[in-house]
Structure 1
Amino acid sequence: MLERIHLEIIYAIEQCGSLTAAAEKLCLTQSALSHTIKKLEQLTGTIIWTREGRSLRLTQTGLYLRDLAKRIVPQMELAEEQMQQYAQGKRGILRIGVECHPCYQWLQKVVNPYLKSWSDVDIDIKQKFNFGGIGALLNYEIDLLVTPDPLWKSRLSFLPVFDYEQVLVVGSSHPLASFNTVSPKQLSQETLITYPVEKERLDIFSLFLTPAGIIPKEHKTLETTEIIFQMVENQRGISAMPLWLVQEYSYKYAVTPVRLGKNGIFKSIYLGTRKDDLTIPYLNAFIEIAKTTNTDSLFPKRSR
């Protein structure tokens, strides 16, 4: 009764946002798509969606099928993809999710030696800054997650690959550039520039400002690292970045790192994967290269 095409239709609508776009993705006419779902409704005696103008609203049954489709369709697509790769003599595609902006800067330095060592493996990098990385791992949408914020689940494994310090970055002529450390209160009259991520996931807020009950005078968001550094250099605001990234860009822009609080904010970048996949050779190889890549000059070790 319930067939794969039904789940694919609901999944496509969820991914594409409209009936028309879903029909195009599935190479169906809109009427054929609607007819397929209508037939399922008739067979099951329940309604899957209702129309509200041009929009579709999923019923309780539709919501259940949507959640089911989000779990099953990616796994079926992955299974078919891997079968095709084996049939073509390929090892596979390593799908990597990147859950933070600076992580992408580091990832580029690991990918090149990996591709040279594993010529039969391709890499697909999914860079989503509001990325639900844990869900993507659990739902088989990615194979590896690069994140500074692991969420410990029984099915997942997270391995720290390097430590870093999160620092305040200011223009070299900014008054705060003369300080070795800053307190949250000193940022209350500043314009803070961050990546477009929820405040709860920004260390500058969750680990520094919010516990002290401080909010900056203004909070702006930008997606591009280069633009953020340009804004900071030209006294348009301040930001918070990993120390290694500030040091890398300080040769190009007149910026200065300042420690956040007396003790600083120290974190680690993790590689997360499903425990069941730890036996996959090409995935393990990426983890090993990430661990052994010479990053000392890029990622200074914290003092003990």
Structure 2
Amino acid sequence: MLERMHLTIVREVDRQGSLTAAAGVLCLTQSALSHTMKKLEQQLGTDIWLREGRRLRLTQAGEYLLAVANRVLPQLDLAEARIRQYALGERGTLRIGMECHPCYQWLLKVVSPYLARWPDVDVDVKQKFQFGGIGALFGYEIDLLVTPDPLYKPGLSFEPVFDYEQVLVVGRRHPLATAAYVEPAQLAPEVLITYPVEIERLDIYQQFLVPAGIAPRRHKIIETTDIMLQMVASGRGVAALPRWLVEEYAQRMEIVPLRLGREGIAKQIFLGARESDTGIDYLAAFIELARQPKSREHRFI
């Protein structure tokens, strides 16, 4: 009979790299762990691991069990946590994954009033899911995903909560600083600074440069917004960011937002959740709060 402990052992051995290390983490003796898995192999009629010298290699059956463990164990952990919360009359923690670097500043505007209205709910923001949050939703590692580019999948629901304009950011002494808008060809001689994101997911490329057959002179990657905009202000490159974010930084930095093309590029921030969770009161309340006018005060016009 396949039990939770078997899945836990398979996952921990994969994480730790050996039976000995996994046994230590699980507070078991190596012999007890080995006996448990040997008994399971006998019941299933197939090996879970094959020994290659001092290393263990998962068999095809073992790989399948590992995939099941990675999918099922987080759900069981969440179920137990939720049941404990119900037993204690609590609501627990709303886990939010970020798939958008500049969205963090927007999120702060929603989290503050949310915490005031829901004192029995904690909020945990997990930025390690930047640009890979769909798997985290399906794996029950997060409850909400903040993204400007929803990937619609069966079982997931995405709600648009915030409209904004994607703009080019230049220093105030840049030759383009006084332009009403910029055309793709004007970026050919520029150093374009972006977050560490695949080009296929960068709007400045996919919605502006690529359709025009234009590439910047150089593409430079910077992880933090503050450093990125300091580079732009010092004339060392240009960047593409939400207008509302640029206008906030422009109050203390020498930068200017410019429209990308005559019509501009309109974007939205979406909140994604599992369809089965959309009826949870504190999760639905967060989405509703994010839709309210105060959180949308920088809308695209």
Q: Same fold judged by TM-score > 0.5?
A: yes
Residue type at the aligned position of 1:72: V
Task: Name 2:83's counterpart in structure 1.
Answer: 83
Q: Percent identity?
A: 62
CA contact (8 A) 1:193 1:239 kept: yes
Judging changes above 3 Å, is the alpha-carbon distance between structure 1 residues 262 and 11 closer, same or farther for their aligned structure 2 residues? farther
Task: Give RMSD over aligned pairs.
Answer: 2.4
Equivalent residues in 2 for 1:83-162 (5 A)?
83-128=83-128, 130-162=130-162
Residue type at the aligned position of 1:264: G
- The residue matched to 2:207 in structure 1 has which SS? helix
Q: How many residues align?
A: 300
Task: Name 2:172's counterpart in structure 1.
Answer: 172
Equivalent residues in 2 for 1:29-44 (5 A)?
33=33, 36-44=36-44
CA contact (8 A) 2:129 2:136 kept: no
- Give 1:267 deviation, angstroms: 0.8
Task: Write the distance in 2 (CA, Å) between the matches of 1:240 and 1:54.
Answer: 51
User: 1:181 aligned to 2:162?
Assistant: no
- Give 1:143 deviation, angstroms: 1.4
Task: Write the distance in 1 (CA, Å) between the matches of 2:69 and 2:135.
Answer: 14
- The residue matched to 1:177 in structure 2 has which SS? coil
Task: Write the distance in 2 (CA, Å) between the matches of 1:30 and 1:168.
Answer: 58
- Give 1:173 deviation, angstroms: 1.1
Task: Write the distance in 1 (CA, Å) between the matches of 2:268 and 2:174.
Answer: 29
Task: Name 1:196's counterpart in structure 2.
Answer: 196
CA contact (8 A) 1:100 1:129 kept: no
Task: Name 1:263's counterpart in structure 2.
Answer: 263
Q: What TM-score results when the alignment is normalised by the length of structure 1?
A: 0.88
User: 1:84-117: per-residue Cα shift (whole Å, max 9, x none)?
Assistant: 2122221222111111111111111111111111
- Give 1:51 deviation, angstroms: 5.7
CA contact (8 A) 2:162 2:290 kept: no
Task: Write the distance in 1 (CA, Å) between the matches of 2:52 and 2:230.
Answer: 46
Task: Name 2:299's counterpart in structure 1.
Answer: 300
User: Which is further off, 20-29 or 226-235?
Assistant: 20-29
- Give 1:295 deviation, angstroms: 3.3
Residue type at the aligned position of 1:224: T
- Give 1:70 deviation, angstroms: 2.0
Judging changes above 3 Å, is the alpha-carbon distance between structure 1 residues 47 and 278 closer, same or farther for their aligned structure 2 residues? same
Judging changes above 3 Å, is the alpha-carbon distance between structure 1 residues 8 and 243 closer, same or farther for their aligned structure 2 residues? same
Q: What TM-score results when the alignment is normalised by the length of structure 2?
A: 0.89
CA contact (8 A) 1:129 1:196 kept: no
Judging changes above 3 Å, is the alpha-carbon distance between structure 1 residues 276 and 211 closer, same or farther for their aligned structure 2 residues? same
Task: Write the distance in 1 (CA, Å) between the matches of 2:131 and 2:278.
Answer: 23
Task: Name 2:241's counterpart in structure 1.
Answer: 241
User: Which is further off, 266-275 or 147-156?
Assistant: 147-156
- Which consecutive unaligned segments of at least 5 residues does structure 1 have? none
